Amino acid sequence: MTDRRLTPVVDGYTYLEGPRWHDGRLWMSDFYSHQVVAVSPDGRTELIATVPQQPSGLGWLPDGTLLVVSMRDRKLMRLENGDLVEHADLSATTGGHINDMVVDSQGRAYVGDFGFDLMGGAPFRTTNITRVDPDGTVTVAAEDLMFPNGTVITPDGKTMIVDETFGNRVSAFDIHDDGTLGPRRDWADFGPMPDTDDVNDLVAASSIGPDGNCLDAEGAIWIADAIYQRCVRVAEGGEILEEISTGDEGVFACMLGGEDGRDLYLCVAPNFDEVERRSTRLGRLVRTTVDVPHAGTP
């Protein structure tokens, strides 16, 4: 376990997710206050948008237009002149709340979804990654994923790396010129999983719960481990290179940013229980400094 000091940046939120370093600030979504906010390194915040159906993944079109996932109505929204307008409806290709997202240099958004009613206790189901082209066209890009979550694209734009929260693994896909994805392959496999639709059994069998992630300049990814209160730096193949404990708090998303790309921001909260997080304001953003800077998208 690496002894890196975690410094508070902002607090008083419900459940922070989807952090993105953009234009000198960290942008992120607060699930249950329905806010998208931008935070400067000194902790000053700006409300960017309010998303009534719960915001999550964030990204930008090539012209700088912000895209925001609207989770519960399964729509991708676009911020135009201060107002959110519908960019695409993903209800036909998704099996639950839509969630994390990465937007490539051509404006193609790759969006994961829960696949089932996680908070309602439904049986686990695999699900898709949906691609939304800049014109709003919706296509299934990949299938049979075990809760696709944090997603990054390598600097050359040719590989997508996706956390699978209930799969005990991180997957990779080649990105073709037309935006289609090649077959899934293991980027990191942390061990076999039981053939079950019981979420509790899947969690118990996992050695890691890969949630949000970000890529660094040595090709490793930082992963927010939603099960074991830590953020880990992982090399392709699965070797854990470094581990940062978040103590009694869970960590659910991470992002490298700052002037030199070496500030590692962590979104922490006591847990991901929806009822508890809705009724409290214990979500926080903390920061530490690491050795290798950010790379890739986002």
What pLDDT does 133 receive?
A: 98
Q: Does 294 reside within a domain?
A: no
The answer to whether the CB of 145 falls within 8 A of the CB of 127 is yes
Q: What is the mean pLDDT of residues 214-230?
A: 98
Query: Which pairing describes strands 55-60 and 66-70: parallel, antiparallel, or unpaired?
Result: antiparallel
Which structure tokens are listed for 102? 């990465």
Tally of structural domains, the chain: 1
Q: Does 127 reside within a domain?
A: yes
Please, which pLDDT band fits residue 260 given cuts at 50, 70 and 90?
A: very high
Q: Does 296 reside within a domain?
A: no
Q: Does 194 reside within a domain?
A: yes
- 16-22 sheet: strands from edge to edge: 16-22, 25-30, 35-39, 45-50
Domain CATH for 55: 2.120.10.30
Give the burial class of 279: count Cβ atoms within 10 A of its Cβ; 0-12 exposed, 13-18 middle, 19 or more buried.
Answer: exposed
Domain carrying residue 90: 7-289
Whole-structure pTM value: 0.97
Q: Does 295 reside within a domain?
A: no
Q: What is the mean pLDDT of residues 187-215?
A: 98
Please, which pLDDT band fits residue 2 given cuts at 50, 70 and 90?
A: confident
Three-class SS of 58-87:
EEECCCCCEEEEECCCCEEEEEECCEEEEE
Q: Is 279 helix (H, G, I), strand (E, B) or coil?
A: helix
Q: Which pLDDT tens digit goes with each residue over 128-144?
A: 999 999 999 999 999 99
The answer to whether the CB of 107 falls within 8 A of the CB of 114 is no
Q: Does 297 reside within a domain?
A: no
Please, which pLDDT band fits residue 3 given cuts at 50, 70 and 90?
A: confident
Q: Which of 96, 110, 188 is nearest to 151 (CA)?
A: 110
Give the burial class of 251: count Cβ atoms within 10 A of its Cβ; 0-12 exposed, 13-18 middle, 19 or more buried.
Answer: buried
Q: Does 298 reside within a domain?
A: no
- 263-269 sheet: strands from edge to edge: 7-13, 283-289, 263-269, 250-257
Q: What is the DSSP letter of 199?
A: H
Q: Does 12 reside within a domain?
A: yes
Model confidence at 212: pLDDT above 80: yes
